[in-house]
Protein backbone atom coordinates (compact mmCIF):
# COMPACT_ATOMS: atom_id res chain seq x y z
CA UNK A 1 0.00 0.00 0.00
CA UNK A 2 1.09 3.57 -0.74
CA UNK A 3 -0.16 7.04 0.09
CA UNK A 4 0.91 9.11 -2.92
CA UNK A 5 3.44 11.17 -0.99
CA UNK A 6 6.57 11.05 -3.14
CA UNK A 7 9.69 10.61 -1.03
CA UNK A 8 12.34 11.19 -3.66
CA UNK A 9 12.83 12.14 -7.28
CA UNK A 10 15.04 9.41 -8.71
CA UNK A 11 16.60 8.98 -12.14
CA UNK A 12 16.84 5.99 -14.43
CA UNK A 13 20.46 4.91 -14.83
CA UNK A 14 19.94 1.82 -16.99
CA UNK A 15 17.22 -0.20 -18.72
CA UNK A 16 17.86 -3.84 -19.60
CA UNK A 17 15.19 -5.21 -21.95
CA UNK A 18 14.47 -8.89 -22.48
CA UNK A 19 11.73 -10.72 -24.35
CA UNK A 20 9.14 -10.70 -21.58
CA UNK A 21 10.39 -8.18 -19.05
CA UNK A 22 12.82 -5.38 -18.30
CA UNK A 23 15.04 -4.42 -15.42
CA UNK A 24 15.10 -0.76 -14.41
CA UNK A 25 17.93 0.59 -12.31
CA UNK A 26 17.13 3.82 -10.48
CA UNK A 27 19.52 6.22 -8.77
CA UNK A 28 17.81 7.14 -5.52
CA UNK A 29 20.42 7.91 -2.83
CA UNK A 30 17.95 9.00 -0.14
CA UNK A 31 15.64 6.00 -0.45
CA UNK A 32 18.07 3.18 -1.28
CA UNK A 33 19.31 2.74 2.34
CA UNK A 34 15.69 2.03 3.37
CA UNK A 35 15.01 -0.53 0.63
CA UNK A 36 15.57 -4.26 1.05
CA UNK A 37 15.59 -6.90 -1.64
CA UNK A 38 11.98 -8.00 -2.20
CA UNK A 39 10.43 -4.71 -1.03
CA UNK A 40 7.63 -3.06 -2.98
CA UNK A 41 8.50 0.36 -4.34
CA UNK A 42 6.24 2.67 -6.36
CA UNK A 43 7.91 4.11 -9.45
CA UNK A 44 5.70 6.76 -11.05
CA UNK A 45 2.86 5.13 -9.16
CA UNK A 46 3.48 1.59 -10.43
CA UNK A 47 4.26 -0.95 -7.72
CA UNK A 48 7.46 -2.86 -8.54
CA UNK A 49 9.64 -5.28 -6.57
CA UNK A 50 13.25 -4.47 -5.77
CA UNK A 51 15.52 -7.29 -6.96
CA UNK A 52 18.89 -5.71 -6.21
CA UNK A 53 19.80 -2.86 -3.85
CA UNK A 54 22.98 -0.82 -3.74
CA UNK A 55 24.15 2.04 -1.57
CA UNK A 56 22.53 4.69 -3.75
CA UNK A 57 20.36 2.79 -6.24
CA UNK A 58 18.12 -0.24 -6.70
CA UNK A 59 16.89 -2.38 -9.58
CA UNK A 60 13.37 -3.63 -10.22
CA UNK A 61 11.78 -6.12 -12.61
CA UNK A 62 9.03 -4.83 -14.90
CA UNK A 63 6.76 -7.10 -16.91
CA UNK A 64 6.26 -6.24 -20.58
CA UNK A 65 2.52 -5.80 -19.89
CA UNK A 66 3.34 -3.15 -17.28
CA UNK A 67 5.59 -1.34 -19.75
CA UNK A 68 2.73 -1.30 -22.26
CA UNK A 69 0.01 -0.23 -19.83
CA UNK A 70 1.95 2.54 -18.07
CA UNK A 71 4.36 5.30 -19.00
CA UNK A 72 7.25 3.18 -17.74
CA UNK A 73 7.61 1.92 -21.30
CA UNK A 74 8.60 5.42 -22.45
CA UNK A 75 11.38 5.86 -19.90
CA UNK A 76 14.95 6.35 -21.09
CA UNK A 77 18.25 6.65 -19.29
CA UNK A 78 18.13 9.87 -17.30
CA UNK A 79 14.33 10.03 -17.02
CA UNK A 80 13.15 11.43 -13.66
CA UNK A 81 10.83 9.12 -11.74
CA UNK A 82 8.81 9.57 -8.56
CA UNK A 83 9.79 7.16 -5.78
CA UNK A 84 7.65 6.10 -2.83
CA UNK A 85 8.36 3.26 -0.43
CA UNK A 86 5.53 1.18 0.99
CA UNK A 87 3.43 2.87 3.66
CA UNK A 88 4.13 2.05 7.31
CA UNK A 89 1.28 1.49 9.73
CA UNK A 90 3.17 3.27 12.52
CA UNK A 91 3.48 6.55 10.58
CA UNK A 92 1.18 9.48 10.03
CA UNK A 93 -0.77 8.95 6.82
CA UNK A 94 -1.14 11.81 4.38
CA UNK A 95 -2.32 11.56 0.80
CA UNK A 96 -4.81 8.75 0.21
CA UNK A 97 -4.82 4.96 0.04
CA UNK A 98 -3.20 3.72 -3.16
CA UNK A 99 -2.40 0.23 -4.40
CA UNK A 100 0.29 1.03 -6.94
CA UNK A 101 -1.90 -0.48 -9.68
CA UNK A 102 -2.00 1.92 -12.60
CA UNK A 103 -5.47 2.14 -14.15
CA UNK A 104 -4.52 4.01 -17.29
CA UNK A 105 -2.36 6.69 -18.87
CA UNK A 106 -3.38 10.33 -19.24
CA UNK A 107 -1.96 13.02 -21.52
CA UNK A 108 -0.90 16.45 -20.31
CA UNK A 109 -2.79 19.07 -22.32
CA UNK A 110 -2.23 22.29 -20.35
CA UNK A 111 0.12 23.87 -17.84
CA UNK A 112 -0.70 27.37 -16.65
CA UNK A 113 1.65 28.75 -13.97
CA UNK A 114 0.21 31.11 -11.37
CA UNK A 115 1.62 33.12 -8.48
CA UNK A 116 1.14 30.34 -5.90
CA UNK A 117 -0.48 27.50 -7.83
CA UNK A 118 -0.06 25.91 -11.23
CA UNK A 119 -3.03 24.70 -13.23
CA UNK A 120 -2.27 21.22 -14.58
CA UNK A 121 -4.78 19.64 -16.97
CA UNK A 122 -4.78 16.08 -18.34
CA UNK A 123 -7.04 14.07 -20.61
CA UNK A 124 -7.89 10.73 -19.03
CA UNK A 125 -9.19 7.53 -20.65
CA UNK A 126 -12.98 7.74 -20.89
CA UNK A 127 -13.33 4.46 -18.97
CA UNK A 128 -11.84 6.09 -15.86
CA UNK A 129 -14.15 9.11 -15.81
CA UNK A 130 -16.87 7.46 -13.65
CA UNK A 131 -14.35 6.96 -10.83
CA UNK A 132 -13.35 10.62 -10.54
CA UNK A 133 -15.27 13.33 -8.70
CA UNK A 134 -14.65 16.99 -7.92
CA UNK A 135 -12.63 17.37 -4.71
CA UNK A 136 -11.92 13.64 -4.76
CA UNK A 137 -8.52 11.98 -4.86
CA UNK A 138 -6.53 10.99 -7.92
CA UNK A 139 -2.94 9.84 -8.37
CA UNK A 140 -0.86 11.16 -11.27
CA UNK A 141 2.52 9.46 -11.65
CA UNK A 142 2.11 8.23 -8.10
CA UNK A 143 1.35 11.65 -6.59
CA UNK A 144 -1.74 12.03 -4.44
CA UNK A 145 -3.68 15.03 -5.73
CA UNK A 146 -7.10 16.58 -5.24
CA UNK A 147 -9.33 16.89 -8.28
CA UNK A 148 -10.02 20.56 -8.91
CA UNK A 149 -12.33 20.16 -11.88
CA UNK A 150 -13.55 17.36 -14.11
CA UNK A 151 -15.13 17.90 -17.51
CA UNK A 152 -17.05 14.79 -18.55
CA UNK A 153 -17.68 16.12 -22.06
CA UNK A 154 -14.01 15.87 -22.97
CA UNK A 155 -12.62 13.68 -20.13
CA UNK A 156 -10.36 16.44 -18.87
CA UNK A 157 -9.23 16.59 -15.25
CA UNK A 158 -7.69 19.68 -13.67
CA UNK A 159 -5.50 19.65 -10.60
CA UNK A 160 -3.67 22.52 -8.94
CA UNK A 161 -0.01 22.02 -8.08
CA UNK A 162 1.72 23.79 -5.21
CA UNK A 163 5.42 24.76 -5.42
CA UNK A 164 6.33 21.89 -3.05
CA UNK A 165 4.85 19.33 -5.44
CA UNK A 166 6.63 20.86 -8.41
CA UNK A 167 9.94 20.98 -6.56
CA UNK A 168 9.88 17.37 -5.36
CA UNK A 169 8.27 15.45 -8.23
CA UNK A 170 8.65 14.93 -11.95
CA UNK A 171 5.53 16.94 -12.78
CA UNK A 172 7.72 20.04 -12.97
CA UNK A 173 9.37 18.52 -16.06
CA UNK A 174 6.22 17.35 -17.82
CA UNK A 175 5.36 19.09 -21.06
CA UNK A 176 2.14 19.23 -23.07
CA UNK A 177 1.84 15.90 -24.84
CA UNK A 178 3.68 13.94 -22.15
CA UNK A 179 2.01 11.01 -20.40
CA UNK A 180 1.28 10.43 -16.71
CA UNK A 181 0.14 7.26 -14.99
CA UNK A 182 -3.33 7.42 -13.44
CA UNK A 183 -4.65 5.50 -10.45
CA UNK A 184 -8.20 6.33 -9.46
CA UNK A 185 -9.56 6.01 -5.93
CA UNK A 186 -9.84 2.30 -5.08
CA UNK A 187 -12.98 2.97 -3.02
CA UNK A 188 -14.75 4.22 -6.16
CA UNK A 189 -13.86 0.99 -7.97
CA UNK A 190 -15.34 -1.11 -5.17
CA UNK A 191 -18.53 0.97 -5.16
CA UNK A 192 -18.96 0.55 -8.91
CA UNK A 193 -18.43 -3.20 -8.62
CA UNK A 194 -21.01 -3.51 -5.85
CA UNK A 195 -23.54 -1.48 -7.83
CA UNK A 196 -22.97 -3.56 -10.95
CA UNK A 197 -23.49 -6.81 -9.06
CA UNK A 198 -26.63 -5.46 -7.40
CA UNK A 199 -28.12 -4.47 -10.77
CA UNK A 200 -27.38 -7.91 -12.21
CA UNK A 201 -29.40 -9.66 -9.50
Q: Is residue 43's pLDDT more than 90?
A: yes
DSSP string for residues in the chain: -B-S---EEEEEEEEEE-SSEEEEEEE-TTTGGG--TT-EEEETTEEEEEEEE-SSEEEEEEEHHHHHHSGGGG--TT-EEEEEEPP-TTS---S--B-S---EEEEEEEEEE-SS-EEEEEEPPGGGGGG--TT-EEEETTEEEEEEEEETTTTEEEEEE-HHHHHHSGGGG--TT-EEEEEE-HHHHHHHHHHHHHHH-
- For 135, the domain range is 104-200
Give the CATH number, domain containing residue 136: 2.40.30.20
Assess if residue 2 is contained within a domain: no
The count of structural domains within the chain is 2
pLDDT of residue 25: 98
**What confidence tier does 200 reach under pLDDT thresholds 50, 70, 90?**
confident
Kindly report, residue by residue over 154-192, the tens digit of the pLDDT. 999 999 999 999 999 999 999 999 999 999 998 888 888
Of the three residues 23, 53, 85, the one that is the final residue of a domain is 85
Amino acid sequence: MFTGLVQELGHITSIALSESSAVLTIHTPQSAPNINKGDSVAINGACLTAIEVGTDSFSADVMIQTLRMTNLGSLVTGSPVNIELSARLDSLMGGHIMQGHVDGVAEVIERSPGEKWEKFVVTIPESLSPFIVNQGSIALDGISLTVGEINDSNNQVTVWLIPETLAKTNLSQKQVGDSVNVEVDVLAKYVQRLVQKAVQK
